[in-house]
Structures are given as C-alpha cells and as structure tokens.
Structure 1
C-alpha cells in the first residue's frame, strides 16, 4: 500500500510550523508500517491524475496550515479549485485521510475540507496555551485507542476547536478546567481522522505520541473488517 503526504507550502504554510520536519517524522512512521511513501508540496496541480487510475494512494496525510492567500502571491481560489476537487474526490473514492495539527486551519478556501475533517480551527475562538510538556487523555474505546494510556509529548494543546457533534472524539486535553477534543474520527463517509498533535519534530520524540500515530495509520489502512 502507498501513502501520499501533502506538505503545505505557499498559501498553506505559515511561519510557526515546520511542515517539512513534521512530514519527515511522519514518513518514518509510515515506512516502518510497510507503506511506500510519496511526498508532495501543495501546488494547484499536485493531485492532477492522482484521484483516478492505478496511481491512487491507499492513504493521504495532510501536514499543512494557512499562510498568505492574496492572488499575486500564490494564485487565486479559482486556481486552487482543481486541487481541492481532486482531494475531495480521493476521500469520496474511499481513500483514508489523516490530517495533522495545523491542518484544522488549512484549505480554508475549500468548501468541503472542514466538513470532511469533522471539525476546524475557528479564528478568534480556537487557541492554544504556550507549547510545553503536554498530556492527552483517551476518552473512547476505539480500535485506535484500545489499551493505549495517556499520550505525553512536548507539543501544543489545541483548545476550543469546532468539532462536528457526529465526530467520535478519541483524545482530549485539559485546559482551565475543561476537556478539549484533540483527536477524533470524522463522521464520514470515508475514513478520516484528525490528530491535533505535531506542532514540530519535538512531538515525535515521545514514544506514546509515535505509538498513537502508528495506531492511527494502522486503523486507517486496515481492511474494512478491521475498523469500527
């Protein structure tokens, strides 16, 4: 099975996240799981021809954010429409999708992204405390989390994300006396999982964080009988 990792650039990169370094860590986990990996930057034509034919991947991973969207910098929304249509088609064809960290705040020009993801970052509402040693707690007995204890990592704790009530929340983090969803399975159709961990490479120094990612990939790529 093959995996396609989409790394944010241009209008889908920002000055706070090293998407390339995170993608490197993700590729290691994917390769350890026996997947062949292709890495592509986000360009308008990055997915041309990918949604059809034998080249269709078995998993798509998005490591991206939001940067400048002015047309003179990186094209217009119309220029990017074919990229978003192709990504939506891949998920529509049943290709599993894993979106990491700032991906809750990417592809804001896509009419389908937040719906596919089962949630999103809301500017002016969503936030995170200063990055540091963080704890993430399992909340659902899902195949991804069965037997998994708390996840600890040096990472950001995303809070006040807007989550579709039909999403299945797998992990939360506590901030100011409230539990905030950080990992969830989208309601579908299709197999889509969002994981808010992974601000930078330091997150992946944690064995429990890497184990969480390994489990997510294994569940997403398992035969239909192996998923709930």
Structure 2
C-alpha cells in the first residue's frame, strides 16, 4: 500500500477564499478508494519533523498563500524537510494554490516548475470550465482531449522553460482574444513532480473527468 502525505494549508499557507481542509479531504477520499494509505497534516512548522524520504511514497501539497508574518525562522526546518523529500526522490503533486504557496522558500517554485506571481497571475470568475489537453503523448493525458469541472481557470502563471505543459485553459482577455494558459505541467525534475491547477473547491473533485486526471497524475507519479 502506497503512503501518501497531503499537506493541508492553514494560516500562513491558507486564505479565506479556499477551504483547503475540504479539498484535501476530497483528494484523500479519492485516493483511499484506490487503495492508498493517506495521511492529512496541516501546515504547522513541525508538520514534517518525523517525515523523511523513506517514510512517504507521494507528497501532495494543497496549500496557499496567507500573511507571511511572524517568525520566518520558525519555518526553516519545515522548508528544509520538504526540500529534502523532493531531493530524496519523493514524487510531488501540487494542486491548485500550490503554485502560490511557500513563497518564503524559492526552492518550492523551482521544484514545482512554475508559480503564481502576485500582480500578474489571475483567473476569471469560477464557473463551469473546459480544460484542453495539448500533449496527449504523456501517460497523464494519453487518450484525453478535455477535462471539464466547476473550477477556476488560472492565467498567466510563470512556467519554467523545462516544464512540459500537458493541459491549458483557454481564457478570453479584455481585448477579446482567447489565450491558452498552461494549467497542468510536469516539472523539469530530476524527480517526478506534477502541478495541477484544478481544485478550487469540492465541486471540482465531483467531476468524473477531473477525478480521472487526478488519478492519472498520481499513477504516473508513483510509476504504476
């Protein structure tokens, strides 16, 4: 049985607009139904104190950006341990706001292969959305053409040059043009890291095609 650890955003890595507890539970419910052993842990400074690369098979990050105030030094061990998991070869799945979390540690954006940039990245209002597969040559998206869900369509994320974009959101801009914005990509590595921008709230995880995308991502990350 594979061991999955889900980091759940709160306080420093949460916000009033995202129910990270509910969406993390939705992820856990789906993965447990597939036979995975899933542990949920909120983002406290000591959340990873007892976790090393030998203790977990997949790290899922479902947290966001809260006020980066207080004692930044108190979080140094948390970030070092998270980075050690990545460096130790533990596969990582970042969902939705994971592109806009851990902004006080630049190693995270590097590992994820991209990030949300305050003042530049944005999204249209939440609603019924279609996400388009642009690379069906990867196991995560092989045979897929679209994913539909009630969700946000992230736009103008900054994506690292070595990342492999699998899915885009077509977003209409103020000038009337439709622009394809990357929302699912594989990070450059060397380990297996996947970012999936879907998952604003539990309605996203109610979509069968969104569930399929998540399952495919997890299967690829675990090499199954």
- Aligned pairs for 1:37-56 within 5 A: 37-51=38-52, 53=54, 56=55
CA–CA separation in structure 1 for the residues paired with 2:222 and 2:33? 14
Q: CA RMSD in A?
A: 1.0
Higher mean displacement: 25-34 or 37-46: 25-34
Report runs of 4+ in structure 1 exceeding 4 Å deviation.
none
1:226 aligned residue: none
1:168 aligned residue: 164
1:158 aligned residue: 154
- Aligned pairs for 1:147-226 within 5 A: 147-176=143-172, 177-222=178-223
CA–CA separation in structure 1 for the residues paired with 2:31 and 2:188? 24
Q: Which runs of 5+ in 1 are unaligned?
A: 224-228
- Aligned pairs for 1:75-154 within 5 A: 76-140=71-135, 141-154=137-150
Q: Which runs of 5+ in 2 are unaligned?
A: 173-177
Q: TM-score, normalised by structure 1?
A: 0.93
CA–CA separation in structure 2 for the residues paired with 1:181 and 1:24? 26
Following superposition, the deviation at residue 156 of structure 1 comes to: 0.2
CA–CA separation in structure 1 for the residues paired with 2:214 and 2:223? 14
Q: TM-score, normalised by structure 2?
A: 0.95
1:70 aligns with 2:105: no
Following superposition, the deviation at residue 185 of structure 1 comes to: 0.4
CA–CA separation in structure 2 for the residues paired with 1:125 and 1:24? 30
SS at structure 2 position matched to 1:114:
helix
Following superposition, the deviation at residue 52 of structure 1 comes to: 5.1
- Aligned pairs for 1:30-41 within 5 A: 30-41=31-42
1:193-222, CA deviations, whole angstroms, 9 ceiling, x for partnerless residues? Answer: 000000000101110000000100111011
Following superposition, the deviation at residue 69 of structure 1 comes to: 1.7
1:115-160, CA deviations, whole angstroms, 9 ceiling, x for partnerless residues? Answer: 0000000000000000000010111120000012300000000000
CA–CA separation in structure 2 for the residues paired with 1:205 and 1:36? 21
SS at structure 2 position matched to 1:112:
helix
2:175 aligned residue: none
1:159-200, CA deviations, whole angstroms, 9 ceiling, x for partnerless residues? Answer: 000000110001001012110000000001111000000000
CA–CA separation in structure 2 for the residues paired with 1:52 and 1:101? 24
Distance 1:65 1:36, change over 3 A: same
SS at structure 1 position matched to 2:220:
helix
